[in-house]
Every structure is written in structure tokens, then in C-alpha cells.
Amino acid sequence: MCLEEKDLQRKSHIIPEFFYSEIKLFHEHHNLYAFDLLQYLKSGRIKPIITKQKSGFYDEYILCSNCDGVIINNYETYTRSFFYSQNLPKGKELKARNAKTYIECLNADYKSLKLLYLSILWRADISKQPLFREISLSDKVKEDLRQMIFYGDSRSDKEYPVFFMHTFFDRTISQDYLFHPIKTTFGNEDGFTFFFGGFIVTYTYGIDGLPENLLQYRLHESGAFRALTVPPGKSWELIKEWYNK
């Protein structure tokens, strides 16, 4: 990421491990519990991806210790506290206001959250893991994201916006599931959708053609974080619709 010649770390996670550990996204042997949704749609059976790894999906020798352990770690530290800490200052915490429609926080750290999520997209693109096989960024987009993450430049909320939905109130689907991310179209924008940690996260390159009412569910420069609530019983219907396209 820094474009310097350095020793690289033996292991760098693609999706931060706290998204797995905090919601216990491991089965009883502590192997990752994930599955290929396309196989499920064909067969109707959930077949876990069971590997010998004892942590989340990672790649070897892709990041140096400073890029991973300092730059990206700063974004991860805030994001972990934002979602899982019970000790954030009043007004800075994530609350389930209007929970039937969305959950929100109006004083989130836009820069840290956005760059953490963009780093996941960037890492997924350079990953060799089969789980991320559909993530393919152009050279321009890849370089834009690299510079944004490395230099701490989150840009405006109209550039590389990140949108959120959540399935926390739908008991018909486990929050433990991790599906492989897919290419998607949102409005007139191409992008990618990830499913992990109880969230459906969609990345696009811009906001062309997106309905005004959906723009509130992107990370906003004002610090507003809103995740649209998937109605109870509708998660599988929504996911199957996207994966069958």
C-alpha cells in the first residue's frame, strides 16, 4: 500500500477479525463459518466453508507492518469501538432510533468509518482468497482507494460512497453468516455488495441515478451513520434476489 520495499507481514486479514470474533462467527472448533450462497441457491443446502484457519480470511505477504498495524489499524480501532463498545461518550454511540426503519448515529467519525470500509474493498480486490473472486477493481479505482486509505483522505460522501442495510431484527437469518461478496448495480452505478457482521454493505463509485431517499443510508460527511432495517422475514428474499441476478 505504501509502494515502498519493505518486509511484509505473514498474515493480513481482508475483513477485520473483530467482525467475526465480536459476533462469534466461528463454529465450535473455532474455524470460520462461511458458505457459498450460490451453491445454497442451487441445492437448498447450507454447506459451510470449513478450513484449518483459526481466524478470519487473510492473505500472506500483502501489507507491511506500518500499513496494516498502524494506518489501517487506526481505522479498525475506531470502528470496533463504534459498533461494539458500551463506553462511547454520549452522543457518539450507535443507537436503534426508529429501529423499524433504520438504526443510526449522528456523530460518527466519517473519515475513520469510511476508510475502514474502503480498505476492506481494496484488500478484497488484491486478495487471492476464492471468497472474494468477484471483486475486481480497475487500476484507477484501485489507485484512488490506495491513496485515500494511505493518506487519510476520505473525500466527499458522493465519491466512493458506502451504503448500509442490516438484518439484526430478522430472526429468520443468522447474523453469523458470511457470504461471498458480489458485483451489483445501484441506481446507475456499478459496485459491490458484502454480507458480514449482520450488515449488508454496498460500495459504488458515485451516486448517479440513486433515489434521494436511499442516499441517507450512506456514510455522510456530517457524521450521520444510518443502516436501513431489512423487515423481519425479508432477508433471504432480498439476498436471493440479488444473488440470482
Sequence-ordered list of residues with C-beta below 8 angstroms from that of 64, at least 6 positions apart, any chain: 1, 2, 4, 6, 7, 8, 9
**What average pLDDT is seen over the chain?**
83
Q: At what angle do helices 110-126 and 139-151 cross, to 10 degrees?
A: 140
With H, G, I as helix, E, B as strand and everything else as coil, classify residue 163: strand
**Are 140 and 134 contacting, i.e. CB atoms less than 8 angstroms apart?**
no
Indicate whether 3 belongs to any domain: no
End-to-end, the C-alpha distance of the chain in Å comes to 33
Indicate whether 6 belongs to any domain: no
Indicate whether 7 belongs to any domain: no
Indicate whether 136 belongs to any domain: yes
Q: What percent of the chain has pLDDT over 90?
A: 47
Under the banding of pLDDT at 50, 70 and 90, the label for residue 17 is confident
**What number of residues does the chain have?**
245
pTM as predicted = 0.85
The predicted model gives 183-196 an average pLDDT of 92
Indicate whether 238 belongs to any domain: yes
Q: Provide the number of structural domains found in the chain.
A: 1
In this structure, the dihedral spanned by the alpha carbons of residues 98, 238, 157 and 79, taken in order and rounded to 10 degrees, is 70
Q: How far is CA 89 from the centre of its chain?
A: 24
Q: What is the pLDDT of residues 161-186, one digit of tens each?
A: 999 999 988 888 876 677 789 999 98
Q: How far is CA 36 from the centre of its chain?
A: 17
Q: What is the pLDDT of residues 21-30, one digit of tens each?
A: 655 433 444 4
Which residue, among 133, 196, 121, has the nearest Cα to 160 in the 3D structure? 121
Indicate whether 49 belongs to any domain: yes
**Are 201 and 162 contacting, i.e. CB atoms less than 8 angstroms apart?**
yes
Q: What is the pLDDT of residues 100-147, one digit of tens each?
A: 899 888 889 999 999 999 999 999 998 888 888 899 999 999 999 999
- Per the structure, the complete domain to which residue 86 belongs is given by 12-243
The predicted model gives 220-226 an average pLDDT of 94
